[in-house]
A and B are shown apart, each in its own frame.
Chain A
Amino acid sequence: MRDAAFWILALILLAGALVVVSARSLVRAAFGLTAALTATAGLYLLLTAPLLAAVQILLYTGGVLTLVVFAIVVVGGEATGGKFRKPFPAAVAAVAVFATLARVIPSLPAGAPRGGLDAGAAIGASLFFRDYVLPFELLSVLLLSAVLGALLLARKDRPE
């Protein structure tokens, strides 16, 4: 059951990734990314990290893709979105990187992993408010500065 769910999610993830890099229309690529990110959230659930799955759906699929679709509407992706630059060397580089990464697979410890993170409430309640308070608060400063920076970059009457 778990295995079947894993392989179905992995198939959706890979198919979505292929759509992202090959679709001529950028809107279609954005929807491929939606599928890939949602499948990743499902994988996080299988890896016993439900809080991460929720954050993935809320922030990524909700936030980022709304931004991306909005930017595509403003910039326009239909005319130039389908242009590719030398796909063959890029494919060779990608395959080489994959082969290099996959070389670690045989050296992994065999057998079923211990598994189980017992995450969820533990992260929210104890970790963020005890062990990781400072990074958590710094993160809010970073988000604020990113919002201000994005506003400054995108406004029309920008002082030079």
Chain B
Amino acid sequence: MGVRMVLLDQYLIARLEAHRGEGRFRYRTRRGPGRAPRRPAPRPRPPAPGMTTRMTICTPRVAVVLLAVIEAERIAHARDRAVALAELPARALPHRVAPDLGLDLGFAHPSIVVPSDVVGTHMFEAEPVIAVEFEPRSGPLGIPPHSRPGGRTNASAAEARPRRRDLSVDAASNQYGARPPPDKDPAPHPRSGRRADQGCAAGAAAGHPRQLSRIGIGRLRRFVYGHTGQHEESRHEGGQPLKEIPNVPVEGASPIEGGPGPVSRSRQTIIEPGDSANYNCSVVNFSQGCTTGWHTHTCDQILVVTSGSGNGRDRA
């Protein structure tokens, strides 16, 4: 099976980008009945005969008749010279279409069907919002209240609209009369390199804190170094234990040569057994002059020195 991507005409995209923000519709004024437009703009459909008649009738009574001729920006097709309304590929809305009225209809009024083609650019540009709050200790992952679906943030508002799919095709073809692009495969955006559907996925992910936490961050904890108060004699307290985590004495405390005497070693488990299929991780605290003694692991071991004090220097 082969997977290919068909690119849109890059010149077309660049041209649309260059004219972005300009008025799509111009209203030309025509003074008097006798002056025709210099270049008759091809219209999607000819005006009704009745309308033309009425204009003619009104002309003698009104000195200046403003005849609105909608000239949409038009791009001629290369082959059959058909003219279609130009649309940015799945990006901008047609002129005078409000991208977002701020109404969370999809959530507040589930019975209201929101047209699937009303899409704001902010939905494409939305970045995933990390909705995980720090917890001082282990426990179930909490969701900040403002990120819950009932919240009124932009992320939740975007979440509540499950209606942005196949934008690159539908937004250009259905509602606004523009013909679909020659190929249905959306091309990467020339600036961001992001395809429209990818941006849509990112926008959808922005409003799903639960889903995000499921795929990304299992548990986020913040440890603070400091004395736990478990030991009064700092001489026998190893290193600088982490707060909030039980400090459990462990075997394997051997005094170093020339050491002060009794030694102790303790462990504070960061990753509880069973939480990870791959790693054990804990903080080990050595009292003054305490070592592990000789030992061998059947796996690699990484040590990151976090504390050490003596003679005013951080030396272990």
Do A and B bind?
A: no
- Taking Cβ atoms with an 8 Å cutoff, the residues of B that contact A are none
